[in-house]
Amino acid sequence: MTLIDLAIGLATMLLCLVLQVSVTFWVVKYYIRQSARRLSGGGLLAGVRPLLVVMVVMMAGNFLQMALWGALFVVLGEFESFHEAVYHSAVNFTTLGYGDIVMSGKWKLLGPLEAANGVLMFGITSAALMAVLQHLIKAFLAAGDQRQ
Distance CA 131, CA 133 (A): 5
User: Mean pLDDT across the stretch 38-50?
Assistant: 66
Q: What is the mean pLDDT of the chain?
A: 88
User: Mean pLDDT across the stretch 25-47?
Assistant: 74
User: Mean pLDDT across the stretch 106-135?
Assistant: 93
Distance CA 39, CA 142 (A): 10
- Residue 76 has a pLDDT of 96
Q: State how far the alpha carbon of 33 is from the alpha carbons of 21, 37, 38, 57, in Å.
A: 18, 7, 9, 16
Residue 96: CB partners within 8 Å, gap ≥ 6?
90
Q: How far is CA 44 from the centre of its chain?
A: 25
How confident is the model over 59-73, as pLDDT tens digits?
999 999 999 999 999
The secondary structure element, H or E, covering residue 68 is helix 48-75
The answer for 43, left when phi > 0, alpha when psi is -120 to 50, beta otherwise, is left
State pTM to two decimals.
0.87
